[in-house]
Amino acid sequence: MNAAVPATKSPPPSAAIELVALTKRYAQGSPAVDRINLRIRSGSYCCLLGPSGCGKSTTLRMIAGHESVSSGDILLENRNITDRPAADRGTAMMFQSFALFPHLSALDNVAFSLKMKGVGKTERHTRAKDLLDRVAMGALANRKPAELSGGQQQRVALARALITRPKVLLLDEPLSALDPFLRIQMRAELRRWQKELGLTFIHVTHSQEEAMALADTMVVMNHGLIEQVGSPHEIYNRPASEFVARFMGGHNVLDTAAGKIGVRTDHMQVTPASQAAPDGLHSKRAVITDVEYQGTYVLLGLQHPGVSPTAHATAELSVMVSEAAFAARPYSLGEAVQLSWAPEAAHSLKTTPSPQLSAVL
């Protein structure tokens, strides 16, 4: 927090979930989650994003109460829930591939947790039916999961998670078992339900594309630490670190005298090496190593000049050229070119994650 901020500044928007120095240590060695601080705004769609093993599921399971906390605190609407049992937290979890009971009808799947709590049959069926109606599944309440499409199963799973009236819905890679077409349909549906219900969703994914499509707020994690928190637009346009720029993709990381900089691959221009560099732009020489047609654009892979093509398996830099521009001036493998970019297209990158980054929304 900036010390110069006047005391009269309005308080931050209410947080559904607040993590305070939250840590999980499974064994000796570096912690799976390392003193992370995070506030998740009430009613927002938050995606925890990062490579496999970075601590996303561990963080989610600690919030759910399915994993003990080594140190630190979890607050739900300002109530400390760190030591509360899972069923008593105000959270609910939706699992990968929905984990519906195959032998139970949609109605009984949704009513299941009420049955466990000893709620009578009439009441639990009424409440389950209400929720199924809400997710447009009332007409199919008596079907078993195998008689439902993937999309219908997702709605039953959502209704089942909502029956406990949670404040926060936790989703761990809920779409990763689906085929690519269904995944895109289902993510649009999740987003729509989140807005309609006005609940806080915390969704774990390793897919940048999924997080960008869904999130109000993205939390990018690496090695048990938070690297960056922001809207998809902020993170894509201003990745804070080399890790975030590389993980998000679509960026080149360049070494300069002033340190590493990031430039979006669609914010760089390619010109033949024989031409003078365009005025006012920064430039760099390179050699074309890959030409990939992608439909609306052509992706050029490039190496620094003088690097033997066998020294690196993949291109170090890439530039997106529109299909029309490439058709007007095609480039070929091995061709020497000049890359250029406007100074304002470049921004500096941190090279190391900052531990205990205080992520305040």
What residues make contact with ligand ADP under the rule CB under 6 A? 26, 32, 50, 52-58
We find the least distance from the C-beta atom of residue 212 to Mg ion, in angstroms, to be 19
Residue 349 binds which one of ligand ADP, Mg ion, none, with CB within 5 to 8 A depending on kind? none
Query: Structure tokens of 220?
Result: 């990018």
d(CA 320, CA 265): 6
When the beta carbons of 55 and 262 are compared against ligand ADP, the nearer one is: 55
Residue 54 binds which one of ligand ADP, Mg ion, none, with CB within 5 to 8 A depending on kind? ligand ADP
Which one of the spans 4-12, 19-27, 55-63, 113-121 is the region binding Mg ion (CB under 5 A)? 55-63
Residue 353 binds which one of ligand ADP, Mg ion, none, with CB within 5 to 8 A depending on kind? none
**Binder to Mg ion among 57, 91, 303, 318 (CB under 5 A)?**
57
d(CA 322, CA 319): 10
Neighbours of 337 (CB within 10 A): 22
We find the least distance from the C-beta atom of residue 352 to ligand ADP, in angstroms, to be 19
Q: What are phi and psi of 165, to 5 degrees?
A: 55, 55
Residue 32 binds which one of Mg ion, ligand ADP, none, with CB within 5 to 8 A depending on kind? ligand ADP
When the beta carbons of 56 and 267 are compared against ligand ADP, the nearer one is: 56
When the beta carbons of 57 and 318 are compared against ligand ADP, the nearer one is: 57
Instruction: Kindly state the number of chain residues that form the binding site for Mg ion, as judged by CB under 5 A.
Output: 1
Residue 239 binds which one of Mg ion, ligand ADP, none, with CB within 5 to 8 A depending on kind? none
When the beta carbons of 50 and 262 are compared against Mg ion, the nearer one is: 50
According to DSSP, residue 189 is labeled H
- Cα separations in angstroms, 248 against 208, 211, 292, 302: 6, 10, 20, 19
We find the least distance from the C-beta atom of residue 24 to Mg ion, in angstroms, to be 13
When the beta carbons of 57 and 200 are compared against Mg ion, the nearer one is: 57
We find the least distance from the C-beta atom of residue 38 to ligand ADP, in angstroms, to be 15
d(CA 166, CA 144): 25
Residue 58 binds which one of ligand ADP, Mg ion, none, with CB within 5 to 8 A depending on kind? ligand ADP
Q: Which of 302, 300, 329 is nearest to 317 (CA)?
A: 302
When the beta carbons of 53 and 120 are compared against ligand ADP, the nearer one is: 53
Q: Which residue is nearest to Mg ion (CB)?
A: 57
Contact 152, 140 (CB under 8 A): yes
Per residue, the 3-state secondary structure of 125-164, as one string, reads: HHHHHHHHHHCCCHHHCCCCHHHCCHHHHHHHHHHHHHCC
Amino acid letter, 105: S
According to DSSP, residue 69 is labeled -
When the beta carbons of 110 and 171 are compared against Mg ion, the nearer one is: 171
We find the least distance from the C-beta atom of residue 117 to ligand ADP, in angstroms, to be 28
Give me the sign of the Cα torsion angle 48, 222, 316, 313: negative
We find the least distance from the C-beta atom of residue 172 to ligand ADP, in angstroms, to be 8
Residue 53 binds which one of Mg ion, ligand ADP, none, with CB within 5 to 8 A depending on kind? ligand ADP
When the beta carbons of 132 and 229 are compared against ligand ADP, the nearer one is: 229
We find the least distance from the C-beta atom of residue 60 to Mg ion, in angstroms, to be 8
We find the least distance from the C-beta atom of residue 35 to Mg ion, in angstroms, to be 20
Helices (H), 198-318: 208-214, 232-237, 242-248
We find the least distance from the C-beta atom of residue 26 to ligand ADP, in angstroms, to be 4
Which residue's structure tokens are 């999130």?
215
When the beta carbons of 221 and 317 are compared against Mg ion, the nearer one is: 221
Which residue's structure tokens are 């531990």?
355
Q: At what angle do helices 121-134 and 106-116 cross, to 10 degrees?
A: 130
Contact 19, 202 (CB under 8 A): no
Q: Which of 4, 17, 10 is nearest to 200 (CA)?
A: 17
Site residues (vs Mg ion, CB under 5 A):
57
